Chain A
């Protein structure tokens, strides 16, 4: 199992203060229990300025609960949350001043127009100039529809309005909880484009999703949650590289399995038809081939299967996962 520790946190030189501010969000040991059920267990997150971090996990993994704690909606049972160097559990108001967030489904006053809903959010924040409304509406592509009641908006429009609302005060940290939830493919693509655009402009983003495709496209780094616990984390590319599988076709599969299950660097062996799928570092394929050859097993095909984040995800969050274990499936 990949358990990368949130490697280099502090980027670059500079005085200590500058470097501290370079960490936009730092979460440690965050825990929340609902009765016996643990929603989030010892979550650690570090988010640097300009980074897009994906918080990934299946339904009920604890993503929303984690965000709710960061936003001070839900009280953690344990752990610390620091936003731009401010302790969010002690000074919630000050810590959240530079944060914009959408959590769970977009929520608005249905009887108000789009722009009045923004006005409400702006008054909650305080100090947002009126001209900012036009800017954010433009950014999310809702210009011209802002005078209509939100109750007449499509779900996609609501999602976009929610993002506009989160951007009103030009936050340094943008937290998006399932921003494409319930959208059709077209709507999803629009939101994804919007997130990519924001990211390109240097916006720091924490993106929660159970859609791997989305995260793979948008995020620099991912943290994968399952049942409240981090099961994997790291650079998207690296995670995928570490977990590539090698497909192998041999003349005598049972003997090959017997032989290979003794090999230390092969983490897992699966059989799919007449193919053997080995979870192992891809750079050891020559070694593999030599080994099989030495034991008189003929190799018909040997190729590295690059995996999508999707497969990886299912692998680390799936019910059949035996962390760190290996076996024949």
Chain B
């Protein structure tokens, strides 16, 4: 199993797409911050908004804000990475080479999921570290304290919790894209359906909410609704969440359930199905 995980990590590490998307995540966040800071220095920007932008560019607020950004774009990019990683095994025919060498199907899937989960963690940690690093010169440029006050108590634990709240939905996203790709055996379908879900789900949640009653309750069990609810709790110390936000326990349990559902589906389908040996026409 360890060698299989090493195999999957090697494939991910040497793939340019992995790094391009990580670069996008970091680059877009930094560029976005730089742009909004620049924009806030223009005349006519309300001081309140300017203050919020500058706070978001520096510590400590830059941490939850960056994680919010990662949760959004990162989920997108990880869906693509996951679908590409599994989908190309089908399209390149490498799946038959690997499975045909005697690797048990379930172990292959597990190793791939673990490697992709590692990528999800890296997609959270690496941009965060860089953003935090960039916040220091930013504070100096803006002539603000490196670490604005307002934090009382231990903040390292808070940061770790925030990261966990970000990674969990990302893992669910990986599981979803993975399951769709395994079931459809297509990278395009994996990316397409995973991305479509990101748009359709909030819409569905909205419609269900409007219909009210029992239907509105269904929305409480949608993946993204819970992912978003969980992100609401990101912050330092005691965080004030809006009224009616789902509880953290509820959100975590629902997300874990979705993950279990996706992983089990992928496993069951993959184990039962023949591996196509005819070359792609």
Contacts and interface: CB of A to CB of B under 8 A. Distances in A.
Interface of A: 64-65, 67-68, 71-75, 92-97, 99-105, 107-112, 116, 119-121, 123-126, 162, 165
B92 interface: yes
Contact of B92 (A101, A103, A109, A124): A109
Nearest to A64: B277
Interface stretch (B69-77, B99-107, B178-186, B231-239): B99-107
Interface in B78-115: 88, 92-94, 96-104
Contact of B279 (A97, A102, A104, A123): A104
A262 B38 CA distance: 103
Nearest to A169: B101
B104 A93 contact: yes
Contacts of A100: 101
B14 A112 contact: yes
Contacts of B98: 120-121, 124
B10 interface: yes
Interface residues of B, number: 27
Nearest to A171: B101
18 contacts: A65-B277, A71-B100, A73-B96, A73-B99, A95-B102, A97-B102, A101-B100, A101-B101, A104-B96, A105-B93, A107-B96, A108-B97, A109-B11, A109-B94, A120-B10, A121-B101, A123-B10, A124-B101
Contact of B102 (A93, A108, A112): A93
Interface in B229-281: 274-275, 277-279
A68 B93 CA distance: 13
A64 B278 contact: yes
Interface stretch (B1-9, B162-170, B190-198, B212-220): B1-9
Contacts of B278: 64, 104
A124 B82 CA distance: 20
B15 interface: yes
Contacts, number: 96
B277 A74 contact: yes
A108 B93 CA distance: 7
A111 B14 contact: yes
Contacts of B88: 109
The 9 closest A-B CB pairs, nearest first, are A96-B102, A107-B93, A123-B7, A71-B100, A73-B275, A74-B274, A68-B277, A126-B3, A123-B3
Interface in B1-41: 3-4, 6-7, 10-11, 14-16
Contacts of B4: 123-124
Interface string B113-154: 000000000000000000000000000000000000000000
Given A107-B93, A112-B14, A125 B277 contact: no
B275 to A, nearest CB: 4
Contacts of B94: 107-109
Given A73-B100, A103-B277, 10 more contacts: A65-B277, A67-B277, A71-B96, A72-B99, A96-B102, A103-B97, A104-B96, A110-B92, A111-B16, A123-B7
B26 to A, nearest CB: 22
B73 to A, nearest CB: 24
B97 A107 contact: yes
Contacts of B7: 120, 123-124
A61 B274 CA distance: 19
A64 B99 CA distance: 15
Contacts of A126: 3
B96 A124 contact: no
Nearest to A175: B100
A124 B98 CA distance: 6
A123 B98 CA distance: 10
A121 B274 contact: no
B44 to A, nearest CB: 49
A264 B6 CA distance: 67
Contacts of B101: 96, 100-101, 121, 124-125
Nearest to A67: B277
Contacts of B100: 68, 71-73, 96, 101, 103
A282 B94 CA distance: 50
Given A111-B16, A116-B14, A124-B7, A92 B93 contact: no
B190 to A, nearest CB: 18
Contacts of A162: 97
> By CB atoms of chain B within 10 A, which of A65, A72, A74, A107 has the most?
A107
B36 to A, nearest CB: 36
Contacts of B11: 109, 112, 120
